């Protein structure tokens, strides 16, 4: 085993400040995604244990809301130190349970530390606003708002960024005074359990940060529980929108999937565009919700762009994610590898052309080759759905406007990349593209953790990024005197 599990977590759920080993049915077996080695067996929470977690969060909420901004910031600083002390162990844990190449796992941990530091700073600064009422019948009065925590937050997190995407929810919650229960993906739950344990080491009282693994039915009942004030979910569109339907009146944030597009025009730096698109489509086996999936290049640069994209793609290293320099690791499980292969084969059968890849490298390891397709149809699954694998399409368009239209031809709208050196076209893209963010001269997968992150259409509801999540997790209470 490449890490010492007991230094980060126990093979148990973390509820009300303690590791709880009881469970129901067969435990959740968590394996190394490349070697298949058994990493841990986590008991699935019972209904009773989940109820204890909710009650602990309710009790914690009553005391947490009395904490001063300074105390909240201080404890986030202590939490940050615990994360820093465990940084390398966390990176190796992410590499093992999520199959993320070790270089990218370390980068995720580094981003997570920045994320908590940002939440720490904001905790000490975040407040309401002065409201102008000194006129008319309220002349002489003063009014201001106080941002009040909504209460317990249920954070449902995915496997692909098991630390940073959890902290995108946990950090803001702790910054404003909301207890949080993390329900991680069963593919990679150990990092979230470690996170809860580290929060306890940092001095957070019981119920402030909890983590449980459970079956889907129990997770849904937790989401619908009226004692949970807010659901913050990152995952698939189908599951996210279903949870919104059953959550009733509670606050909800959905960070969902996409089939991110990039548009390349004749003014772009083609060499730079090609390199960034090759990386953006395939690193971490494309298992990023803003991974580049569709590229639309104007006719004048199409051949040159494709030539350079393929050259850069050939340089990508696929294999054991624990080895330094590997960029493309395994897909999360055999079913995902089979699905990606089936979608590519279906596109090829319908007339698409494979420019590279389009095959399984190692079935036993769930390794799929970095793949570029062209001559696809808008109805091919590799185009209209979210591949979540190392597969992208590149197509020729008549002009920049046609590229923007093709990018918009999607039920998703998370982020898009635009490669151009024309200021007018940058403005045109900003006005036209139906997405949450437009990334200029970079792949759609660019993200700074402090920015407002989220999508439109089927890609989500609400925004993350510490400040924006803090707004989602609070409501303004007005006083006039």
Catalytic residues: 255, 289
Between CA 77 and CA 121 the distance in angstroms is 9
The length of the chain in residues reads: 481
How is residue 136 annotated by DSSP?
A: G
Residue 473 CA to chain centroid, in angstroms?
18
- What is the phi/psi pair of residue 9, to 5°? -155, 165
Q: Annotate 292-339 with three-state secondary structure.
A: CCEEEEEHHHHHHHHHHHHHHHHHCCECCCCCCCCCECCCCCHHHHHH
Residue 475 token pair: 């409501």
Residue 389 token pair: 């694998």
Q: Which residue has the tokens 């490349």?
A: 34
Other Cβ atoms less than 10 A from the Cβ of 94: the count is: 31
140-175 as b/e: b if 16+ CB within 10 A:
eeebbbebebbbbbbbbbbbbbbbbbbbbbbbbbbb
Q: Calculate the alpha carbon distances from 310 to 304, 324, 340, 355 in Å.
A: 10, 23, 20, 8
Between CA 473 and CA 151 the distance in angstroms is 8
Between CA 245 and CA 263 the distance in angstroms is 34
Q: Which residue has the tokens 């249920």?
A: 154
Query: What's the number of CA atoms in the CB half-sphere (13 Å) around residue 151?
Result: 16
Please name which of 434, 445, 166, 437 lies closest in space to residue 289, comparing C-alpha atoms: 445
How is residue 476 annotated by DSSP?
A: E
The phi-psi region of residue 337 (left if phi > 0; otherwise alpha if psi is between -120 and 50; otherwise beta) is alpha
Residue 207 token pair: 């119920």
From the number of C-beta atoms within 10 Å of its C-beta (0-12, 13-18, 19+), residue 96 rates as buried
Between CA 228 and CA 211 the distance in angstroms is 14
């Amino acid at each position: 085993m490449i890490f010492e599990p007991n230094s980060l977590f126990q093979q148990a759920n973390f509820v009300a400040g303690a590791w709880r080993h009881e469970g129901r049915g067969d435990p959740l077996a968590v394996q190394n995604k490349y070697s298949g080695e058994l990493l841990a067996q986590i008991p699935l929470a019972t209904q009773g244990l989940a109820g204890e977690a909710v009650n602990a969060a309710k009790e914690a909420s009553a005391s947490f809301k009395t904490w001063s901004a300074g105390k909240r910031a201080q404890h986030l600083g202590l939490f940050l130190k615990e994360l820093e002390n465990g940084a390398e162990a966390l990176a190796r844990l992410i590499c093992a349970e999520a199959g993320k190449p070790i270089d990218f796992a370390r980068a995720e941990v580094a981003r997570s530390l920045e994320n908590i530091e940002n939440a720490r700073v904001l905790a000490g600064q975040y407040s309401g606003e002065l409201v102008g009422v000194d006129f008319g019948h309220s002349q002489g009065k003063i009014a201001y708002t106080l941002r009040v925590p909504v209460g317990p937050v249920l954070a449902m997190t995915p496997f692909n960024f098991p630390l940073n995407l959890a902290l995108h929810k946990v950090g803001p919650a702790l910054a404003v005074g909301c207890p949080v229960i993390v329900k991680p993906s069963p593919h990679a739950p150990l990092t979230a359990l470690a996170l809860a344990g580290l929060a306890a080491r940092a001095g957070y009282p019981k119920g402030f940060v909890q983590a449980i693994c459970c079956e889907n039915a129990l997770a849904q009942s937790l989401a619908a529980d009226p004692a949970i004030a807010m659901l913050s979910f990152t995952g698939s569109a189908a599951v996210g929108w279903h949870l919104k339907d059953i959550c009733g009146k509670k606050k909800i944030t959905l960070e969902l999937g996409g089939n991110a597009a990039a548009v390349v025009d004749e003014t772009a730096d083609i060499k730079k565009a090609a390199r960034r698109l090759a990386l953006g489509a395939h690193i971490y086996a494309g298992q990023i919700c803003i991974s580049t999936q569709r590229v639309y290049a104007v006719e004048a640069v199409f051949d040159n762009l494709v030539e350079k994209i393929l050259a850069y793609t050939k340089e990508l290293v696929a294999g054991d994610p624990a080895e330094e320099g590997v960029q493309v690791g395994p897909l999360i499980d055999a079913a995902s590898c089979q699905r990606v292969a089936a979608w590519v084969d279906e596109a090829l059968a319908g007339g698409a052309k494979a420019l590279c890849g389009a095959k399984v490298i190692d079935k036993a390891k769930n390794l799929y080759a970095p793949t570029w397709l062209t001559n696809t149809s808008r109805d091919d699954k590799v185009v209209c759905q979210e591949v979540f694998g190392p597969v992208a399409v590149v197509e020729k368009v008549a002009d920049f406007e046609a590229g923007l239209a093709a990018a918009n031809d999607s039920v998703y709208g998370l982020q898009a990349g635009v490669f151009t050196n024309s200021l007018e076209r940058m403005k045109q893209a900003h006005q036209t593209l139906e997405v949450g963010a437009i990334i200029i001269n970079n792949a759609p997968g660019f993200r700074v953790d402090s920015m407002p992150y989220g999508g439109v259409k089927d890609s989500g509801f609400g925004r993350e990024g510490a400040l924006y999540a803090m707004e989602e997790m609070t409501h303004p209470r007005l006083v006039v005197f």
